[in-house]
Structure 1
Amino acid sequence: MTVPIEDVRAAAELVALGLRTGARPTDANPYGRLLERYRSQTLFRDTVDTVASGLGLVVLGAPARTGLVLSTQPGSVFAVRMGDLRSTGMSADEKLIAGLVVLGVAAYAFPQEADLDSSEVKTVEVAALDKFVRDSIERVLAVPGDPESVDGQARTAAELYRRTAAFRPKDRQPGPAKGCTQFAVAEVLGWLVERGAARQMPQLGASTFQLTDRFRLLVADVAGGEALEAMKAVRAGQH
């Protein structure tokens, strides 16, 4: 069946909206209307999936309150790297610690596979997440694997994390200063906010964040290594 060119354009528009992390679908805006077509029309959904695939993207889901959730294929121009977290650049050690924090957020919020199918809202707080990562360090250090593998890098990150101070105050402002692990946690959570995977919850505290469906679907798509499983086991034992 030939797809009308107007539908191909609409499919590309929906993919573009999915890439804009600040865009939100509603019943009254074009994003919401295109998202409803994706959710209800098989041919349009197939067209969107094909357009996304041609751009090196994979559609993970289309929650009504979040919008189109996209992940990247290997080598995609849209692939996200730890170095993208900070515009001024990050050292190799900072990238490793940030990567461990991302694993920590996933394990903290979704320790069981069933959690990934739940619509329960997950919240995280900077100091609590930092403590959880520290509680997981010994388990991560015991994970086997080649030093260059993901699990090997997680071990290196865990050792760096253990040697870094949890909190250093800023000179004239509240909050953690650069160079401590709570700063790294806050930076990663702020980065997730920019990507639409979390939102700040000032009503619950200045350092509290709520994870969105986008983050849940991204976690479900990630192949978990032993380091992630080790952190999940620590979190599950805390419940």
Structure 2
Amino acid sequence: MTVPIEDVWSAAELVAFGLRTGARPTDGNTYGQLLERYRTNTAFRDAVDTVAGGLGLVVLGAPARTGLVLSTQPGSVFALRMADLRGGSMAADDKLIAGLVVLGIAAYAFPHDVDLDGTDVKIVEVAALDRFVRDAIERVLALAGDPDTVDGQARKAAEVYRRTAAFKPKDRLPGPARGCTQFAVLEVLGWLVERGAARQLPQMGAMSFQLTDRFRLLVADVAGGEALEALRTVRRGAASTASAAPVAPAAPVAAAAPGEAAVPAAAVPGEAAVPAAAVGPVAAAAPVAAVGPVAAAAPAAAVPVAAVVPEMSTVEGD
């Protein structure tokens, strides 16, 4: 069947939107209209998938609130590596730590396979993530595998993580300084924000972030490996312990916009709140008091966790 040139143009336009981190689909804009067409028109969806494939990209999904989620094929010109996190100037140990942090975020937010099928709000906080990774270090160190495999690299990363200080204060400003693992966690989360896989939550504190559907779909696409499972096991154990403790009454939940998750009514005026159940142990470490997919700063559309340690491919747009 011949595809009209207008449809090819529209398909390429939708892929371009998917590559732009700052693009947001709505009912009234072109991105939203093309996204809805992708979700409801099989012929157009095939055209978009074909255009993406020709560019070395793979469409992982098209959530209404996130937009087109793209990942890269091996050798794609859009692929990025962990070294790109800091403009290519990362030391080998920093790459290892960053890769382990990405695995840690995936395990912390999605400890069970079924979690990857849900759309619950997932909130993470820097100090809590750092503690979680540290709690899992012994299990990661016990992994088998050659040094050049992902699991072998995860083991090496755990060794580096363990000997690196958890926190170093800045001279004058609040927050962790470079050279500690909390800084590495914050840097990775900021990078995910730039790639559309997370959003900052200022209402909950400067160190709190919400993971987007984009991150969930990317993890679902590549989930696997002993390193990720080791981290997930620790997370499941922590969750079981927490569930055995008395639970305080939940805060009233305010109604959210269609397609969005609800948030407790006690949030900052004018801001959507986040369901307490989605926060888990993380929120307890952050001041109670926010999100938007990955800052509209850097264009890039996906952050797969494929070869996470020490390298991780993602999508770079323009």
- Quote the RMSD (CA, aligned, Å): 0.7
Q: Show the counterpart of 1:157.
A: 157
Alignment of 1:165-176 (within 5 A): 165-176=165-176
Question: CA–CA distance in 2 between the matches of 1:231 and 1:217?
Answer: 19
1:189 aligns with 2:176: no
Alignment of 1:28-47 (within 5 A): 28-47=28-47
Q: Show the counterpart of 1:95.
A: 95
Question: CA–CA distance in 2 between the matches of 1:88 and 1:192?
Answer: 16
Gaps of 5+ in 1: none
Q: Show the counterpart of 2:19.
A: 19
Q: Show the counterpart of 1:54.
A: 54
Alpha-carbon distance, 1:234 to partner: 0.3
1:117 aligns with 2:117: yes
1:102-160 deviation digits (Å, cap 9, x = unpaired): 00000000000000011110000000000000001000000110011010000000000
Alpha-carbon distance, 1:21 to partner: 1.0
Letter of the 2:153 counterpart: Q
Letter of the 2:180 counterpart: C
Question: CA–CA distance in 2 between the matches of 1:88 and 1:171?
Answer: 26
Q: Which runs of 4+ in 1 moved over 2 A?
A: none
Alignment of 1:126-145 (within 5 A): 126-145=126-145
Q: Show the counterpart of 1:4.
A: 4
Alpha-carbon distance, 1:223 to partner: 4.0
Question: CA–CA distance in 2 between the matches of 1:163 and 1:88?
Answer: 24
Question: CA–CA distance in 2 between the matches of 1:63 and 1:79?
Answer: 22
Question: CA–CA distance in 2 between the matches of 1:207 and 1:102?
Answer: 16
SS in 2 for 1:217: helix
Letter of the 1:174 counterpart: P
Higher-helix-fraction structure: 1
SS in 2 for 1:106: helix
Letter of the 2:237 counterpart: G
Normalising by structure 2, report the TM-score: 0.74
1:210 aligns with 2:210: yes
Question: CA–CA distance in 1 between the matches of 2:80 and 2:133?
Answer: 22
Letter of the 1:162 counterpart: R
SS in 2 for 1:190: helix
Question: CA–CA distance in 2 between the matches of 1:223 and 1:237?
Answer: 19
Letter of the 1:55 counterpart: L
Letter of the 1:86 counterpart: R
Number of residue pairs the alignment of both structures matches: 239
Alpha-carbon distance, 1:60 to partner: 0.3
Question: CA–CA distance in 1 between the matches of 2:204 and 2:224?
Answer: 30
Question: CA–CA distance in 2 between the matches of 1:99 and 1:47?
Answer: 34
Q: Show the counterpart of 1:146.
A: 146
Question: CA–CA distance in 2 between the matches of 1:140 and 1:197?
Answer: 25
Question: CA–CA distance in 2 between the matches of 1:69 and 1:19?
Answer: 8
Letter of the 1:67 counterpart: G
SS in 1 for 2:136: helix
Question: CA–CA distance in 1 between the matches of 2:88 and 2:168?
Answer: 21
Question: CA–CA distance in 2 between the matches of 1:127 and 1:223?
Answer: 24
Gaps of 5+ in 2: 240-318
Q: Show the counterpart of 1:104.
A: 104
1:13-53 deviation digits (Å, cap 9, x = unpaired): 10011011111100111100000110010000000000000
SS in 2 for 1:166: coil
Alpha-carbon distance, 1:205 to partner: 1.0
Which structure has more relative contact order (CA 8 Å, sep 6+)? It is 2
SS in 2 for 1:230: helix
Q: Show the counterpart of 2:247.
A: none
Question: CA–CA distance in 2 between the matches of 1:193 and 1:219?
Answer: 15
Alpha-carbon distance, 1:232 to partner: 0.3
Identity %: 80
Alpha-carbon distance, 1:80 to partner: 2.2
